[in-house]
Amino acid sequence: MLPGVSDALREAAAVPSYACARDQWPWGCVAECESSGRWHVNTGNGFYGGLQFWHPTWVEHGGLKYARRADLATRQQQVTVAEEVLRTQGWGAWPVCSKRYGLSGRVHTVQTGDTLGSIARRFAVGGGWQALYAANRSLIGPDPNRIVVGTMLRIAPL
């Protein structure tokens, strides 16, 4: 918790006004766009689940530890795999839907033990942790040493 910064204020700064954004931004919106929000859909088009994973992508990013196909996994399991996809492919993995909601670049969801410095080194952020902080200050708050686990930080382009 950041002193002087309420969760509601931080959340309001991070979540856009789309109706779907109230449903676990940005994943509720991406799923609404990709699959009409149907997390267990298998339409036979070679893409599966709420976020319409191509099966090789599901496998490559660890999905098999949850289910043999994305449509057989829970919503949270699909989101967990999607966060891995974002680390490697960025929002381009969902080209139409990411454009619809103004999502771009690669992101990282803060994990226990992360610091801005370690994240900046991992992703080779030009300008280091300071540039990463500047690009995400509205999400992080006034203290760059206090990043909250689960926060989705924008990595690139900065």
Cis peptide before 26, with omega less than 30 degrees from 0? yes
Predicted confidence at residue 108, as pLDDT, reads 83
Cis peptide before 144, with omega less than 30 degrees from 0? no
Instruction: State yes or no: pLDDT of 75 exceeds 70.
Output: yes
- Residue 157, classified by CB atoms within 10 Å of its CB into exposed (0-12), middle (13-18) or buried (19+), is exposed
What value does the mean pLDDT of the chain take? 86
pTM of full prediction above 0.85? no
- Residue 154, classified by CB atoms within 10 Å of its CB into exposed (0-12), middle (13-18) or buried (19+), is middle
Q: Provide the pLDDT confidence category of residue 16 given band limits of 50, 70 and 90.
A: low
What is the per-residue pLDDT across 33-54, written as a single tens digit (0 to 9) for each? 999 999 999 989 999 999 999 9
44-69 burial code (b ≥16 CB/10 A, e <16): eeebbbbbbbeeebbeebebeebbeb
